Chains A and B, each alone.
Chain A
Amino acid sequence: MSLVGPLILATFLFCVGIYGVIARRNAVLVLISVELMLNAVNINLVAFQNLLFPDELAVSGLMFALFIIGVAAAEVGVGLAIVFNMFRNRASVNVDDVDLMRW
């Protein structure tokens, strides 16, 4: 199969994730969008794994993808903990409200 398909899909998911990061107001939705981006990367990696090592001489791409899944999980955990903290301090998870570092 063609290589370009998964790559375009990955790019699309990545860009959708970026849009979500920028355009969503809820902090949890931002985290969700980040999760999307990570998965897009995984698709990219697997596609290139198939391109580079089709004979399972090495499984670097798969490994990388596995680790990304693990790290993403950890990151979601910590991120949600931060969101809880934020929610507890100001009763809102609106990212627009967290702008003390403004002019």
Chain B
Amino acid sequence: MTGLDVVFVLVALFTAGAAVLTVTSKNLVHAALSLAATLAGTAGVFLVLHADFLALVQLVVNVGAVAVLFLFGLMLTRAPIGREALDSQNRGLGLAVAGGLFVLLSGLIIAAFGTTSVEQVTGASIEVIGIAIFADWVLPFELLSMLLLGALIGAIMLARRETGESGEEAMATRIDVGDTPTAEGGVRAELENTTPAGQLGAGGDR
């Protein structure tokens, strides 16, 4: 057990704990923040594993953008802020399946790699990664950029409010942004004026 192992175990514990918190938290925002913590922990794992570039990318992209994106999503979908039950009735099934898979896979892994150890890893430098990207992996790289472009356009298309469409939209979804504030002022008034149909999962029916 080297020092690296110890560090790794610590980081791993942190990551694992944050992940569990993510999926079991009763508070939506807590869950999203736990995700952010998990992602950060993952970056730490990368560091321990000599993948420093990847760790930084992870931090920038996943923690900085994706987790924030989730928070935005929660906000925009009127995620109920407050304690409430967020789990569906499939908990038992989920536990069973996930647990079974974990046992199985870890058993297999330990059986296969239980005694393997990795020594003397030279972490890849940015130079090598850069050369690899633009030499060996340039095609996937380009495709990835295409994919991102497609996702961007797709997201815009999907989330766009149809212009000229009247009235089928639920009251709760109307967000007046900008220059037509309601009389009561702002989003919070909107929230309080919502019809009972607009209440999102309040109280929940487990």
A: which residues have CB within 8 A of B?
1-9, 11-29, 31-33, 35-36, 39, 42-43, 46-47, 49-51, 54-56, 58-59, 62-63, 65-67, 69-78, 80-85, 87-88, 90-96
Contacts and interface: CB of A to CB of B under 8 A. Distances in A.
B154 A4 contact: no
Contact of A81 (B38, B45, B116, B155): B155
The secondary structure that dominates the A interface is: helix
Interface of B: 2, 4-5, 8-9, 12, 15-16, 19-20, 22-23, 28, 31-32, 35, 38-39, 42, 45-46, 49-51, 53-54, 57-58, 61-62, 65-66, 69-70, 72-74, 76-79, 86-91, 93-95, 97-99, 101-102, 105-106, 109-110, 113-114, 116-125, 128-129, 132-133, 136-137, 140-141, 144, 147-148, 150-152, 154-159, 161, 169-170, 172-173, 197-198, 200-201, 204
A17 B156 CA distance: 27
Contacts of A84: 73, 76-77, 158-159
Contacts of A39: 38-39, 42, 58, 62
Contacts, number: 283
B148 A74 contact: yes
Q: Chain B at the A interface: mostly helix, strand, loop or mixed?
A: helix
A11 B193 CA distance: 46
B101 A18 contact: yes
A26 B201 contact: yes
A33 B86 CA distance: 13
A23 B90 contact: yes
Contact of B58 (A5, A58, A69, A75): A69
B87 to A, nearest CB: 5
B15 A9 contact: yes
9 contacts: A4-B109, A16-B98, A17-B23, A18-B98, A39-B39, A43-B49, A50-B49, A59-B129, A76-B70
B106 to A, nearest CB: 5
A33 B35 CA distance: 9
B154 A78 contact: yes
A11 B128 contact: no
Contacts of B132: 58-59, 62-63
Contacts of A83: 73, 77
Given A33-B22, A51-B118, A92 B201 contact: yes
B105 A11 contact: yes
